[in-house]
Amino acid sequence: MRAYSTVRPEALLSAAHRSGIAFGSKLRALGACGLFLASGCTLIADLSQNQCSVDEDCASDSGPPLACVDRICAPMTVEMIDCFADTSPVSREQPVTFRAELVDDTSRAVVENAGGRVCGALDTECAEPTVAPTTSNDAGLLSFSLPQGFDGYAEITSDRHVPTLAAINRLTEDNNRVEVALLTTADLFELALGAGSSIDASRGHLLFRTTDCDGTRLGDIVVVVEPAEDATSVFYFRDGLVSADATSTQAGDGPRQGTGGVLNIPVGTARVRFFRQIDGEVASEELTSFAANIRAGAVTMVFLGPSDSSAETSQTENTGNTAGGNAS
> For the segment 194-241, what is each residue's pLDDT rounded down to a tens digit?
999 999 999 999 999 888 766 778 899 999 999 999 999 999 999 989
* Alpha carbon of residue 97 to chain centroid: 22
Could you tell me the domains of the chain?
6-80 (no CATH), 95-318 (2.60.40.1120)
Angle 274-162-174 from CA coordinates, rounded to 5°: 50
pTM: 0.70
pLDDT in tens, 52-106: 766 667 776 555 556 666 566 765 544 434 454 445 555 556 788 889 999 999 9
Strands 221-226 and 204-210: unpaired
In the predicted model, is pLDDT for residue 144 greater than 70?
Answer: yes
In the predicted model, is pLDDT for residue 256 greater than 70?
Answer: yes
At residue 69, the pLDDT reads 63
Q: Please indicate whether residue 282 or residue 78 has the higher confidence score (pLDDT).
A: 282
Q: Which residues pair with 134 in a beta bridge?
A: 116
How many alpha carbons lie under 13 Å from residue 268 in its C-beta half-sphere? 7
Comparing C-alpha atoms, which of 23, 150, 31, 114 is closest to residue 79?
31
Distance between CA atoms of residues 75 and 195, nearest Å: 33
Distance between CA atoms of residues 108 and 116, nearest Å: 19
Query: For the chain, what percent of residues have pLDDT higher than 90?
Result: 45
Q: CA Rg, the chain, in Å?
A: 20
